Chains A and B, each alone.
Chain A
Amino acid sequence: MAGDPAAPRPLSPTPEQLSAWGLNPAWSRRVSFVGADQLSVDWHILDTGTGTAGTIVCVHGNPSWGYLWRDLLKTLSPKWRVIAVDQTGMGYSQPGPARRLAQRIDDLVAFVTQEVSGLLVLAAHDWGGPVAIGASATLSPVAMILTNTAVGKPEGLRVPPLISLARTFVGFSCRLTPAFVRGTGWMTASSHRAALSAPYRGASRRAAVRDFVADIPLRARDPSMATLEEVANTLDTYEGPVLLLWGGRDLVFHDRFLRDLRDRLPQAQVQRYADAAHLLPLDVEIGVVVEKWLSGVFSPTPTRTWDDAPYRSVLAGLDERQQDDRVIYEGPDGALTWAQLAQRSTTAAQQLHGAGLKKGDRVGLLIPPSPDLLVAAAALWRVGAVPVVADASSGLGPLARLLRAASPRYVIGTKRSVFAARLLRFAPGATFASFRGRHGELTLSAATNSDFPSPQLLASDLAAIVHTSGATGPAKAVRYTHGALAAQRAAVGNLLAMDADAAFTTSFGPFMLLAPLLERRCVRPDFPVDRASDLGFDELAAAVTARGVTTAWLSPASALSVVATAKGRSLPLGLVMLAGAPIAPSLVSAVASITGADVRAPYGMTECLPVTDGSDPTRVGRLGGASTGRTLPGCVLRVEPIAENIEWGEILVAAPWMFDGYDAAWSVDEKSWVEIEGTRFHRTGDVGYLDDAVLFHLGRYAHVIWTDHGPVASVAVEGPLAAALEKRVAAVGLGPRGTQLVSVVIEAPGALRLARSDIRELVRSAAPVRVASILEGRLPLDARHQSKIDRSALSSSAEIFHAGR
Chain B
Amino acid sequence: MRVLVTGGTSLLGAHVARLLAARGDRVTCFQRRPSNLGLTDVLGDLRDREAVLAAARDHEAVVHIAALVAPRPRYASAYAVNVTGTANVLEAATRCGRLLHVSTPSVAFRNVPTIGAAAQAATYDGNDAYTLTKVLAEKLVLEHSAVPTVVLRPHLIWGPGDTQLVGRILDRARRGHLAIPDGGRAMVDTTYIDDAAEAVVAGLDCCVDAHPALGRPWVVTGGDPRPLGELVEGILRAAGLAPRYKSIPAPLAGVVGRFIGTVWLGAEPPLTYFATRQLSVAHWFDLRETREVLRWTPRVGVEEGLLQLRASLRP
Contact = CB atoms under 8 A, between A and B. Distances in A.
Interface of A: 708, 734-736, 738-741, 753-754, 757, 760, 764, 770, 772-773, 799, 801-805
Given A708-B287, A735-B115, A754-B230, 16 more contacts: A708-B286, A734-B115, A734-B116, A736-B286, A738-B286, A740-B116, A741-B116, A741-B187, A754-B183, A770-B224, A802-B185, A804-B185, A804-B186, A804-B187, A804-B280, A805-B281
Given A804-B185, A805-B250, A772 B225 contact: yes
B110 interface: no
Contacts of B72: none
Nearest to A800: B113
**Which 4 pairs, one residue from A and one from B, show the smallest C-beta to C-beta distance?**
A735-B116, A804-B186, A803-B113, A739-B286
B286 A754 contact: no
Given A736-B116, A739-B118, A741-B225, A804 B181 contact: yes
B115 to A, nearest CB: 5
A805 B280 contact: yes
Contacts of B251: 805
Interface string B116-131: 1010000000000000
B284 A735 contact: yes
A754 B186 contact: no
A734 B282 CA distance: 11
Nearest to B114: A803
A753 B183 CA distance: 9
A804 B282 contact: yes
Contacts of A803: 113, 115, 186-187, 281-282
A677 B89 CA distance: 65
B80 to A, nearest CB: 34
B184 interface: yes
Contacts of B186: 802-804
B230 A773 contact: yes
Which interface residue of A735, A740, A741 has the most chain B CB atoms within 10 A? A735
Interface string B223-236: 11111011001000
Contacts of A708: 223, 286-288
Contacts of A741: 116, 187, 225, 284
11 contacts: A734-B115, A734-B116, A734-B187, A735-B286, A740-B116, A754-B184, A754-B227, A757-B237, A773-B226, A802-B186, A803-B113
Instruction: Tell me the dominant secondary structure on chain B's binding face.
Output: mixed
A799 B115 contact: yes
Nearest to A771: B226
Contacts of B116: 734-736, 739-741
B287 to A, nearest CB: 7
Contact of A772 (B181, B187, B280): B187
A805 B181 CA distance: 9
Contacts of B185: 753-754, 801-802, 804
A802 B228 CA distance: 9
B187 A773 contact: yes
Contacts of B303: 764
A739 B181 contact: no
A347 B230 CA distance: 71
Nearest to A805: B250
Interface of B: 113, 115-116, 118, 181-187, 223-227, 229-230, 233, 237, 243, 250-251, 280-282, 284, 286-288, 303
A755 to B, nearest CB: 9
B56 to A, nearest CB: 38
Contacts of B237: 757
A773 to B, nearest CB: 5
A417 B172 CA distance: 66
Contacts of B224: 770, 772
Contacts of A736: 115-116, 118, 286
A57 to B, nearest CB: 44
A354 B113 CA distance: 67
B33 to A, nearest CB: 38
A398 B109 CA distance: 45
A756 to B, nearest CB: 10
B250 A757 contact: no
B227 A802 contact: yes
Contacts of A773: 187, 226-227, 230
Contact of A804 (B118, B250, B286): B250
Contacts of A738: 286, 288
Contacts of A740: 116
Given A708-B287, A805-B182, A805-B251, A760 B115 contact: no
A772 B226 contact: yes
A735 B284 CA distance: 9
A734 B113 CA distance: 13
A127 B22 CA distance: 82
B303 to A, nearest CB: 8
Contacts of A764: 303
A773 B189 CA distance: 12
Nearest to A736: B116
Given A735-B116, A801-B185, A804-B186, A760 B230 contact: yes
Specify which of B115, B183, B243 lies most central, judged by the most chain A CB atoms within 10 Å of its CB: B115
A804 B182 contact: yes
Which has the most chain B C-beta neighbours within 10 Å: A754, A802, A804, A805? A804
B197 to A, nearest CB: 22
A801 B280 CA distance: 11
A677 to B, nearest CB: 35
A734 B225 CA distance: 11
A736 B282 CA distance: 14
Contacts of B243: 757
A4 B288 CA distance: 68
Contacts of B288: 708, 738-739
Contacts of B250: 804-805
Contacts of B282: 802-804
A739 B287 contact: yes
A760 B115 CA distance: 22
Nearest to B286: A739
Contacts of B113: 803-804
A773 B184 CA distance: 12
B278 to A, nearest CB: 10
Nearest to B251: A805
B239 to A, nearest CB: 15
A751 to B, nearest CB: 11
A736 B250 CA distance: 25
A753 B229 CA distance: 11
Nearest to B282: A803
Contacts of B280: 804-805
Nearest to A708: B288
Residue with the greatest number of chain A CB neighbours at <10 A, chosen from B187, B229, B250, B280: B187
Nearest to B277: A804
A11 to B, nearest CB: 46
Nearest to A741: B225
Nearest to B116: A735
A773 B185 CA distance: 9
Contacts of B229: 754
A764 B226 CA distance: 13
B258 to A, nearest CB: 16
A385 B237 CA distance: 71
Contacts of B184: 754
Nearest to B303: A764
B267 to A, nearest CB: 28
- Most chain B beta-carbon contacts within 10 A, residue among A736, A757, A773, A805: A805
